Structure 1
Amino acid sequence: MSMTAGNGHYNRPQGRRKRLNRHAPIAEINMTPMVDVMLVLLIIFMVAAPMLTSGVPIELPESEAAALAADKEPLSITITTEGKVYIQDAEVAMEDLVTKLTALSENGFKQKIFIRGDESVAYGEFMRVIGHINAAGFKSIGLVSTNGGGTN
């Protein structure tokens, strides 16, 4: 025979206990959804940031000049090593360059035009593009290079 102490119920607490309300509102902010959203946004920005550089991939020449502050998105014309010409990201035939730029000029575009050219592009190719830009009525032209830091 076995002896038991107490009332014979091992798992029940002795006496009355205050029952906890299981459906009470939580007074804390649940941070898990916010952290999830922030991580997704971080990943999106990390993926999108490299795509923000405009244009066709080329090797720009180095320069000791400081970078200029830009107020608006400038119009860039890119010259590749193969001699292809792009306005922003759209390829344009050399003979159509004047007509496309003239149309921009007639629509009120009066900002500076930046020329991005691979460092291996011939000087004559640059001058031909600059001549077409001038023929379209644009007088303010800038050449884009990377900031190489230079030696003094």
Structure 2
Amino acid sequence: MQVQEEGKPYDDINIVPMLDLTYVLLIIFIIMTTAAVQGIQVNLPKASATPSLGQNQTKAISITADGTIYLDTYPVTLAELETTLRGYKAANPALPVVVKADASIQYQQVVDVLDLLGRLEISQLGLVTQRLVK
């Protein structure tokens, strides 16, 4: 470490505090990004093959074990779901939708959602399942 002489200007910059700040910001961004990706947790049914859809503008409808319906991560009723999807369908006629339903819910709730998607003429539809473990 050099001692500063009086009247002589500094010839180097101490970047250690800037690096500390950069590391702290990087950790904050990593934590916030992983926290935002969680979604709604449902117990998916098993299937032997699971085809995939593109995830660019796909809307996800989740039905939890207690029967609550979510559009992406927001709880909605069937009427609200229809209104919201009708708006998305008007903006994007080829709107892809995936349905994630808990394996323990009544089949009628899934049929109600599928019937709603049929009335809205949403043809790009996927049902999310887990791969069957052999």
Deviation, 1:71, is 5.3
Aligned position for 1:108: 92
- The residue correspondences of 1:35-74 to structure 2 (distance < 5 A) are 35-53=19-37, 55-63=39-47, 65=49, 68=52, 70=54, 72-74=56-58
1:88 is the counterpart of 2:72? yes
AA partner of residue 25 (structure 1): Y
Structure 1: tracts of 5 or more residues without a match: 1-19
Question: How many percent identity over aligned positions?
Answer: 24
What are the superposed Cα offsets for residues 37-62 of structure 1, whole Å, 9 maximum, x if unpaired? 22212321232133222533323345
Give the C-alpha shift of residue 132 in structure 1: 0.7
Please say if residues 102 and 137 of structure 1, whose CA atoms lie closer than 8 Å, have aligned partners that are also in contact: no
Q: Secondary structure at the match of 2:28?
A: helix
Structure 1 equivalent of residue 83 of structure 2:
99
Higher helix share: 2
The 3 A distance-change label for structure 1 pair 49 and 64 is farther
Q: Match of 1:130, as an amino acid?
A: L
Distance 1:67 1:132, change over 3 A: closer
Instruction: Tell me how far apart the structure 1 counterparts of residues 14 and 93 of structure 2 sit (CA, whole Å).
Output: 51
Deviation at 1:135, TM superposition (A): 0.8
The residue number in structure 2 matching 1:14 is none
Cα separation, 2, equivalents of 1:25 and 1:145: 64
State the number of aligned residues.
130
- Cα–Cα, structure 1 residues 26 and 119, in superposed 2: closer, same or farther, change >3 Å? farther
Larger radius of gyration: 1
RMSD between superposed Cα atoms in Å: 2.8
TM-score normalised by length of structure 1: 0.67
> Matched residues in 2 for 1:99 and 1:135: separation?
12
With 84-93 and 63-72 compared, the bigger mean Cα shift is at 63-72
